[in-house]
Structure 1
């Protein structure tokens, strides 16, 4: 299943869980179930925004964006992080009010059942989304999946608190569970915002990709051919690498260009989503970086 298909399924699942969790809150008047329902609203908004950003990221490069629109995915996780933090603050306010004015809960059995069903739906969806996110290297899909996993743990905490209320009669366990939910999603919101900020920076490729690239270049290396000045960066699901290839000055341009094409194709085949660009230089010519003249 493609990234956009999973995000559309995430939107549909969010609507279903909102209905289930809102019904659970309505029946029980539990503030912890209310907090769970609020987080599902964030799930819906986040999934819709992620779908919009993935659609934007899939657009081809144009004159204004020659490297494509792939970084748009990072805005999705940042936006979702902001929504999570806003929801957490609302949950904290509601929990404090309920702590000050505790109320008896009703129909806990039905409320717990609805919460468990919605949690199971989110858990299955998150598992599939994470697998697809790793394959397609989609930050938006990974962010949405991580949020769903947080929602699963949130629901587990809510259910544990409600079971405690049911068995002990301690009404204060309900707002306590809500506060624990808020603390957990605050942590997740911060993590998503941090990942988004890091993604918008030009980070180099990870060690795994670099090892693959080094192995490919080693296959083309020769006493008369060498590679240097390799730089790399990530932009969403896309990877970029630039380097210099030195070869004998006596080679014709046609021969040098043919070998460069072979190396570029080998690199892009070995690393999914990679775009390789190689500059040709004679063996006895060095490119210097960092000189004052390079800064002019």
Structure 2
């Protein structure tokens, strides 16, 4: 199943959980359960936007975007991070109002049952989406899955707190728990925004991937062949590496090109989704990429 298919399921699940959690809040009057329902609205908006961005990222390169549209996924996770922060502020505002004017909780049995049913749906989907996100290296899918998983744990905490508040009569515990939920999801929102910014600013590949690249290059290195100026970056699911390959000046162009092709194939085989750009240089020539820019 594709990433887009999972996001379509996420939209449908978000609609179902909104209905269940809104029902739970309506039955109980709990501001904690209301905060949980508001977060599900964020799930719906985030999944819808992620679906749009994943679809855009999958479109082939064109004249205006010759490197493709892979970075569109970073907009998705950044957008979801902003939505999470907005939801957190709305939850805190509602919780403070209830803290100032406590209200009794009602029909906790049915209310918590509906909330737990929604939590089970979110948990199952989040687990499946995280596996798929790692398989496809999709930050949009991972962002949506991590938000769902955060929703699962906060929902469990809200239900537990509401039950304790109902059993003890500590009505202040309900809004206090809602504020804790808001702070927790705000932390997740900040994390998503930071990761999106890193991707848009061409962050280098992960250390373990860099180690794989170094291992491949070491297999081709020779006293007459060397590699330098290895630069990497990520763009959504796509990975890029640029480097210089030095070889004897007397080699024919055909021989040099054949070796470069072998290196490129080895790199792409070792690192799925990698696009390698290799500049051929004679052994006695040095190229210092970026020196002119740094001097400006």
Does 1:184 pair with 2:184?
Answer: yes
**Could you give the per-residue CA deviations for residues 147-173 of structure 1, whole angstroms, max 9, x where no partner exists?**
111101210121111111221122222
**Could you give the per-residue CA deviations for residues 186-244 of structure 1, whole angstroms, max 9, x where no partner exists?**
11111111111122111111111111111111111222211111111111111111111
Q: How far apart are the structure 1 equivalents of 2:293 and 2:11?
A: 54
- 1:196 alignment partner, SS class: helix
Q: How far apart are the structure 2 equivalents of 1:291 and 1:29?
A: 64
Sort the Cα spacing of 1:290 and 1:102 in 2 relative to 1 into closer, same or farther, 3 A: closer
TM-score (norm 2): 0.96
| Superposed structure 1 runs of 4+ greater than 2 Å apart | 288-296
Q: Cα distance, 1:293 vs. partner? A: 9.1
TM-score (norm 1): 0.96
Q: Which residue of 1 aligns with 2:106?
A: 106
Q: Which residue of 2 aligns with 1:71?
A: 71
Paired residues, what number? 296
Gaps of 5+ in 2: none
Q: How far apart are the structure 1 equivalents of 2:292 and 2:66?
A: 28
Q: How far apart are the structure 1 equivalents of 2:95 and 2:290?
A: 57
Q: Cα distance, 1:294 vs. partner? A: 8.4
Gaps of 5+ in 1: none
Q: Which residue of 1 aligns with 2:259?
A: 259
Q: Which residue of 2 aligns with 1:151?
A: 151
Sort the Cα spacing of 1:120 and 1:291 in 2 relative to 1 into closer, same or farther, 3 A: closer
Q: How far apart are the structure 2 equivalents of 1:291 and 1:169?
A: 69
Q: Which residue of 2 aligns with 1:162?
A: 162
Which runs of structure 2 are paired with 1:2-41 in the superposition (5 Å)? 2-41=2-41
Q: CA RMSD in A?
A: 1.5
Q: How far apart are the structure 1 equivalents of 2:28 and 2:54?
A: 38
**Could you give the per-residue CA deviations for residues 64-115 of structure 1, whole angstroms, max 9, x where no partner exists?**
1121111111111111111111111111111111112211111101111111
